[in-house]
Amino acid sequence: MSNAIAKAATGARPVRIVYFAWVRERVGLPEETLDIPTDLATVADLVRWLKARGEGYEAAFSDEAIVRAALDHVHAKPQARLGDAREIAFFPPMTGG
């Protein structure tokens, strides 16, 4: 059985997750590739799933309204659908000057 078929059979798909700034510090990783469940529909669903992975994730996403996301380099709101995104990035709010 091919790797793609095996992933489909388990209801998961690989996604590159990238963390920036203090999100990275709290998670403890700059990035990782995770097999996320295919039933996660939105960014908010993914955040809740990540929080269940452990203390660092819980700390990083403790205030879900603060952390920002991008799907394949495009900013996305919590209710945005994950679709077939291959890369999802999380970062704190940005300020400019």
Q: Convert the pLDDT of each residue in 9-25 to its tens digit.
A: 569 999 999 999 999 99
d(CA 86, CA 14): 8
Confidence grade of residue 94 (pLDDT, cut at 50, 70, 90): confident
**Res. 2: pLDDT tops 60:** no
Chain mean pLDDT for the chain: 90
Count other C-beta atoms under 10 Å from residue 87's C-beta: 14
User: CA dihedral in degrees (16, 21, 24, 30; nearest 10)?
Assistant: 50
Q: Which domains does the chain have, with CATH numbers?
A: 22-91 (3.10.20.30)
Q: Convert the pLDDT of each residue in 64-87 to its tens digit.
A: 999 999 999 999 999 999 999 999
